C-alpha cells in the first residue's frame, strides 16, 4: 500500500511539472514587472467564503502576496529572508483580497486564489500579474476552520523551492535548498488544531524556473485530514 501511495505521489508531481511547462508562457528566467497578462491558468478567484479540502486533503484556497525580491536557497539565506521584516504585520496579518503591504517603498497586493490542482502554482500566479518569478519570496496565508479540536495531526508540505511554515503563529517546519515539489516532502511534529479558526502561514523562496507548493494535514494514521473547511470569510469578498 505504501508503494502504491509513493507511486501516486510521484505521478501527481510529474503531472504538475508537465502542467507548469504546458500552461505557463515561455520566460527568460524572470518575469517583468509590467501590466497583468491575464488569468493564471491553474488559479481562480474564490466565489464563496469557505471551501472544503480536496479528496486527498490538500488545501486549495490561499491569500498570496505579490512576490518580494530574495536571493539564496541555503538554510542561512532562507532563514535570513523569512526573518527580515518586510512589513510590520507579516507574521500576524490575515489580509483581505486586494489589501496592500508596503515593502521597501512599493505597494504589493494580496490576492485570494483557489487552485484547480492539489498544488498552488506560484509561477502562474506571478507571471499572470506581470511580476518577477525568480529570486523571489512569496508570503501566503489561509485559515483552517475545524468543527472540533483535532489532536495528533501533522502538517505535510512540499515546495519548489525552499519554504518555512507556521501554524497559529508557531513555526512548525522548514525545507531548504533547490528542490522540486514532492507531496509530503516535509512533515511537522504532531500538533493540535483547535476548534474554530487556525491560521496557516508560509513563506516560499524561489531561485529560478517553476515554483509552487502544496499542503495538507495528516492524522495519527498518516491519512489525510478532511473534516474541516478553509474559511477566509470576508477576506474574499
pLDDT tens-digit readout, 147-162: 999 999 999 999 999 9
pLDDT of 102 strictly over 50: yes
Q: State the total domains in the chain.
A: 1
Q: Is the pLDDT of residue 2 over 60?
A: no
Stretch 42-69: mean pLDDT: 96
* pTM score of the predicted model: 0.85
Report how far residue 236's alpha carbon sits from residue 232's, in angstroms, rounded to the nearest whole number. Answer: 6
- DSSP E strand stretches across the chain: 43-44, 50-51, 61-65, 68-69, 100-103, 106-115, 120-121, 136-146, 150-160, 162-167, 170-175, 186-187, 191-193, 196-206, 212-218, 229-231
CATH classification at residue 148: 2.60.120
**In the predicted model, what is the mean pLDDT of residues 63-79?**
95
129-186 pLDDT, tens digit per residue, is: 999 999 999 999 999 999 999 999 999 999 999 999 999 999 999 999 999 999 999 9
Amino acid at each position: 500500500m505504501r508503494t502504491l501511495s509513493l507511486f501516486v505521489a510521484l505521478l501527481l508531481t510529474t503531472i504538475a511539472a508537465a502542467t507548469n511547462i504546458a500552461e505557463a508562457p515561455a520566460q527568460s528566467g524572470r518575469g517583468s514587472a509590467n501590466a497583468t497578462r491575464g488569468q493564471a491558468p491553474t488559479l481562480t478567484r474564490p466565489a464563496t467564503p469557505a471551501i472544503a479540502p480536496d479528496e486527498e486533503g490538500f488545501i486549495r484556497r490561499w491569500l498570496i502576496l505579490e512576490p518580494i525580491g530574495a536571493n539564496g536557497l541555503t538554510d542561512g539565506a532562507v532563514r535570513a529572508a523569512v526573518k527580515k521584516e518586510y512589513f510590520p504585520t507579516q507574521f500576524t496579518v490575515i489580509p483581505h483580497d486586494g489589501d496592500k503591504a508596503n515593502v521597501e517603498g512599493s505597494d504589493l497586493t494580496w490576492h485570494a486564489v483557489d487552485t484547480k490542482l492539489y498544488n498552488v502554482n506560484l509561477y502562474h500566479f506571478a507571471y499572470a500579474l506581470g511580476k518577477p518569478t525568480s529570486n523571489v519570496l512569496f508570503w501566503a496565508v489561509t485559515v483552517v476552520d475545524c468543527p472540533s479540536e483535532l489532536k495528533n495531526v501533522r502538517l505535510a508540505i512540499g515546495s519548489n523551492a525552499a519554504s518555512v511554515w507556521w501554524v497559529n503563529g508557531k513555526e512548525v517546519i522548514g525545507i531548504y535548498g533547490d528542490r522540486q515539489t514532492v507531496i509530503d516532502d516535509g512533515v511537522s511534529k504532531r500538533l493540535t488544531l483547535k476548534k474554530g479558526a487556525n491560521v496557516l502561514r508560509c513563506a516560499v523562496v524561489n531561485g529560478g524556473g517553476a515554483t509552487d507548493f502544496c499542503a495538507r494535514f495528516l492524522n495519527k494514521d498518516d491519512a489525510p485530514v478532511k473534516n474541516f473547511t478553509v474559511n477566509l470569510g470576508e477576506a474574499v469578498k
